[in-house]
Structure 1
Amino acid sequence: MSKSSTLAFTGFNQLSANVFYCDPLQKSGPSETTSTSASENAPSLVILATWMGAVTRPIAKYLAGYQTLYPKTPILLLRNETSDVMYRSTRTQISRLQPALEVLEIAKETPSARILLHFFSNGGSIQIRTLAQMYKAKYNAPLPVTGMILDSCPGLEDLQTNYNAFAVGLPKFWLLRALAMTIISIFFLGHYIANIVFGKEPFLRKLRRQLNDPSLFPTSAPRVYVYSKTDDMVRWQDVESHAAEAATKGWSVKTDRFEESKHVGHMVVDAQRYWANVKSVA
């Protein structure tokens, strides 16, 4: 297992650039004796994959929520940055996620293991898709999760909403922001041209298909989609169409559309309602 180091999140250890782990019963890296929850109603492991460029403070609110609900359940935290999506190679991303696969391998060995998967936006979706592909490549089986929460995802190719998503983490200084905006515009234009010239499947359309692929995610794991009608980064119609497709493929699906919350901001609007959704698939 990769070396661990102290994080801003109390009790968490860093296993790679993108992977962090906390086992309340053992404040170090995972071992064969960890991943055991004291409560029959608690998952054996929570995997939390954040949105692109998420910073410590908002992430900590979700960690605190899980630590309140399931105080003895280990949490595997996956973070990602704009660079992971825009130019970091698949090989590098796989390397960074390797410790997460190792944690998962240990957790699934727990008798009657229940692994809860919770991911946000397209950024978190990308990491979870990659983790599922890694697991399938090694075991020829879907990710061994027993419940899924999809928060504000998945979206579709739309210039304005996709741009809004990338713009969140841009510098405030106007010159740097203008430069970053230019780079992002070139990035989107390049992908658009490549899709036409080479007949490639659009990136987000491919991601949506993969999230509904039974060879990557088991149909036995119920799903809840939490999203908003006022989200300016992922359209609610795109989330609902993905949920409907999942239902036709055999997943048990629940949708909860908020009316006024921002992107990945539903928990802030109504925490009780949000965590009830989590518990419904845990």
Structure 2
Amino acid sequence: MDSVLPPKPNSYGPGFVQLSSTVFYHESSESSNHSGTSTTAQAPNLIILAAWMNALPKHVAKYTSTYENLFPSSHILVIVTNTAHLLTQPERQRIKDLEPALSIIQGIQPHEKVLLHAFSNGGASAIWTIARTHHARTGKRLPVSKTVFDSMPGSQSYEISLAAFTVALPKNLMVRAVGSLVLRVFLGMWYVYDLVTRSEKFIDKIRNGLNDTRLFDVGVERLYIYSMADKLVPWKAVEEHAREAEGMGFKVSMEKYRESGHCAHLLDDEKRYWGAVVDTLWLGRDRPI
């Protein structure tokens, strides 16, 4: 991969540099040639982790730290999304914020291996925007080797959207009450606008975009991780998207939890989670039944 843009002071965590308000990068100092282990030899050159909306660094670190331990030679690109990105930020500004990520992705060489790990509708939105912009600039699909969709994509309804955005509100009761009222009004206007103009819903655009074969290669295997207990992303919406992907030629596998919450499947069963992501999807190993 080509060298990245000069970093801003690190504000994300050990080993990471901040390239923009939403892009963080960990460039490994190791080479895959330094270790003889099979895991290191098969390590991704780059891991792209698109976090869920308003994800805290300490929560994202549960994933990045494991990737660092499993694949010390891999570079890690973290993309974060907040409420403003989805509700109020113009796409032109969003793309500007994502420029460092686009630069790194456009520098990926044909022989390099890339693992994409995206979470929830926040991560899905970021990846969809990146894929569209990358295609518009290069005429090529997103250059990834394997894909993980964790708790995504969901479906759009007023109640689910309100619940998702309310999660990030401050715990102070007064502030939370005012914030909730503002969200109700804003989301209500948004839904009325879509209804009157018969516009395609935002989440539907993302769902369709993730299965757009102009943006994503059908030869790239994808793993859906989801739960029947997820209150923000209905499991039926995930399975419907997976079936649509299969119908378009994507190779799909699904890891269905029963009791884990939204983006919390790792906490429910860490061994099972990484077994599905690393052993089965990335390394292609069979797991014990």
Relative to the length of structure 1, the TM-score reads: 0.93
Runs of 4+ in structure 1 displaced over 6 angstroms? none
Please identify, of 7-16 and 228-237, the stretch whose mean Cα deviation from structure 2 is larger.
7-16
Q: 1:48, 1:171 → 2: CA distance? A: 26
What CA RMSD, in Å, does the superposition of the two structures yield over aligned residues?
1.3
Q: 1:150, 1:216 → 2: CA distance? A: 16
Tell me the secondary structure at the aligned position of residue 216 of structure 2: coil
Equivalence map 1:263-282=2 (5 Å): 263-279=262-278, 280-282=280-282
Q: Which runs of 5+ in 1 are unaligned?
A: 27-35
- Shift in Å at residue 135 of structure 1? 0.5
Tell me the secondary structure at the aligned position of residue 50 of structure 1: strand
Tell me the secondary structure at the aligned position of residue 51 of structure 1: strand
Matched residue type, 2:226: Y
8 Å Cα contact 1:6-1:14 kept in structure 2: yes
Tell me the secondary structure at the aligned position of residue 156 of structure 2: coil
Matched residue type, 1:154: P
Work out whether 1:218 is the aligned partner of 2:217.
Answer: yes
- Shift in Å at residue 159 of structure 1? 2.3
Matched residue type, 2:13: F
Equivalence map 1:120-269=2 (5 Å): 120-269=119-268
8 Å Cα contact 1:2-1:99 kept in structure 2: no
1:90-126 deviation per Cα after TM superposition (whole angstroms, max 9, x unaligned): 01100000000111122x22x5211111000000000
- Shift in Å at residue 2 of structure 1? 4.5
Q: 1:76, 1:117 → 2: CA distance? A: 10
Please identify, of 257-266 and 176-185, the stretch whose mean Cα deviation from structure 2 is larger.
176-185
1:12-58 deviation per Cα after TM superposition (whole angstroms, max 9, x unaligned): 000000000001217xxxxxxxxx64433111100000000001211
- Shift in Å at residue 141 of structure 1? 1.3
Tell me the secondary structure at the aligned position of residue 220 of structure 1: coil
Please identify, of 167-176 and 255-264, the stretch whose mean Cα deviation from structure 2 is larger.
167-176
8 Å Cα contact 2:158-2:188 kept in structure 1: no
Q: Percent identity?
A: 36
Equivalence map 1:99-114=2 (5 Å): 99-106=100-107, 108-109=108-109, 112-114=111-113
Q: 2:175, 2:86 → 1: CA distance? A: 20
8 Å Cα contact 1:25-1:72 kept in structure 2: yes
8 Å Cα contact 1:2-1:16 kept in structure 2: no
8 Å Cα contact 1:37-1:43 kept in structure 2: no
Matched residue type, 2:82: E
Q: Which runs of 5+ in 2 are unaligned?
A: 34-39, 283-289
Work out whether 1:24 is the aligned partner of 2:39.
Answer: no
1:175-220 deviation per Cα after TM superposition (whole angstroms, max 9, x unaligned): 2111111121122211211112112001111110001101111111
Matched residue type, 1:182: L
Q: 1:23, 1:3 → 2: CA distance? A: 11
8 Å Cα contact 2:12-2:24 kept in structure 1: no
8 Å Cα contact 1:228-1:261 kept in structure 2: yes
